[in-house]
Amino acid sequence: MRFFNREKEIREILSILEFEPNFIYFIYGPINSGKTALINEVINKLDDKYVVFYINLRRYFISKYEDFIEVLFEEYEEDKDPIELVKGLIKDSSVLFGIPVPKNVLEVLLTKKEEKNVFRYITNILLELRKEGKKPIIILDELQKIGDLKINGFLIYELFNYFISLTKELHLSYVFCLSSDSLFIEKVYNEAMLNGRAKYLLVDDFDKETALKFMDFLAESILDKKLSNEEKELIYSYVGGKPVDIIYVIQELKIKNLKEILDYLLNDTTQKLSTFLEILNYSKPKIQIESETIELKKEEIIKALKLFKEKYEIDRKEIPTPIYIYLVKKNILFLDPIKGTLKPQSFLVWNAIKRVI
129 backbone φψ class: left, alpha, beta (φ>0; ψ -120 to 50): alpha
Question: Is 351:343 a contact under the CB 8 Å cutoff?
Answer: no
* CATH code, 276-356: 1.10.10.10
Quick: pLDDT tens for 75-118.
887 667 787 888 788 877 788 888 888 887 877 777 766 667 88
Q: Which residues of the chain have pLDDT under 50?
A: 151-153
Domain map (residue ranges) of the chain: 7-202, 208-255, 276-356
Question: Is 223:256 a contact under the CB 8 Å cutoff?
Answer: no
What is the pLDDT at residue 150? 54
Pairing between β-strand 135-141 and β-strand 95-96 as defined by DSSP bridges: unpaired
Question: Please, which residues bridge with residue 344 across strands?
Answer: 333
Instruction: Give the phi and the psi of residue 176 in degrees, each rounded to 5.
Output: -120, 130
What is the pLDDT at residue 187? 80
- Structural class in CATH, domain 7-202: alpha beta
- DSSP for 143-199, written as a single string: GGGGTT-BSSSBHHHHHHHHHHIIIIIS---EEEEEES-HHHHHHHHT-GGGTTTEE
What is the pLDDT at residue 289? 79
Q: What is the pTM of this model?
A: 0.90
Helix axes 208-218, 229-239, angle to 10 degrees: 120
Spatial separation of the C-alpha atoms in residues 165 and 213, rounded to whole Å: 42
Spatial separation of the C-alpha atoms in residues 104 and 79, rounded to whole Å: 6
